[in-house]
Amino acid sequence: MGLAFSAFGLPGWSSIPTGQVYDQYFKDKKTDSFEAFHVAYVEFCKDFNTVLPGQDFDTPSLEKIQKFYDDTWKLINEDQEKKKAFMDYIRDNVKEAAVDDSLFIMAGLAAPAGAIVLKRTGQSIPQLKRLDLLPNVLFVPLFTLAAIMGATAVQMKQRSRHT
């Protein structure tokens, strides 16, 4: 059936043999054009990132995928060789996304104090007087959660800009 994904250093995938992954996404699909291969590859990557919640994997650029297709995939006719070449490519080129936790830590530490300052400022600014309707017990956690979600959005936008 093939090697287990744990051999690639991907935790949680040890029960899914790579042979099954290859068979599901590539074996029975027509991948004789780059467009068809790329659709299968994108489907693989989408499922790959959704199976492990909280973990993301950076995939290679379109140029690298095109190069793999032209230099390797297109030249191989035997299914077993394609499977081995694809799994070698995935092992070498798909890396776990690096996450900078400092942004989340700073947002988590600064948000509660910011929430209290905002609420006190709201007592003297008419547009923010409505914040007094929410008790601190609800307002501070909600504000902190919103700050962490904002930090996540900023980090995702920066990552998508770099790829």
Domain range for 121 is 102-162
131 and 148 in one domain?
yes
Question: Higher model confidence: residue 128 or residue 109?
Answer: 109
16 and 87 in one domain?
yes
The answer on pLDDT for 114 being more than 80 is yes
109 and 76 in one domain?
no
What are the tens digits of pLDDT across the range 121-148?
Answer: 878 888 777 777 888 899 999 999 999 8
The mean predicted confidence, pLDDT, of the chain is: 75
Number of CB atoms found within 10 A of residue 42's CB: 13
Q: What is the pLDDT of residue 142?
A: 92
The answer on pLDDT for 82 being more than 80 is yes
The answer on pLDDT for 64 being more than 60 is yes
Region of residue 54 (left: phi > 0; alpha: psi -120 to 50; beta: else): left
* Residue whose structure tokens are 């030249």: 75
121 and 42 in one domain?
no
User: E strands, the chain, where?
Assistant: 57-58, 95-96
What are the tens digits of pLDDT across the range 25-59?
Answer: 777 777 778 888 888 888 877 777 666 555 566 77
Q: What is the pLDDT of residue 52?
A: 59
Tell me phi and psi for residue 57, to 5 degrees: -125, 135
Binning pLDDT at 50, 70 and 90, where does residue 23 land?
confident
Q: What is the pLDDT of residue 145?
A: 92
Q: How far apart are the first and last CA of the chain?
A: 33
Tell me phi and psi for residue 58, to 5 degrees: -85, 130
73 and 21 in one domain?
yes
10 and 85 in one domain?
yes
Q: What is the pLDDT of residue 1?
A: 37
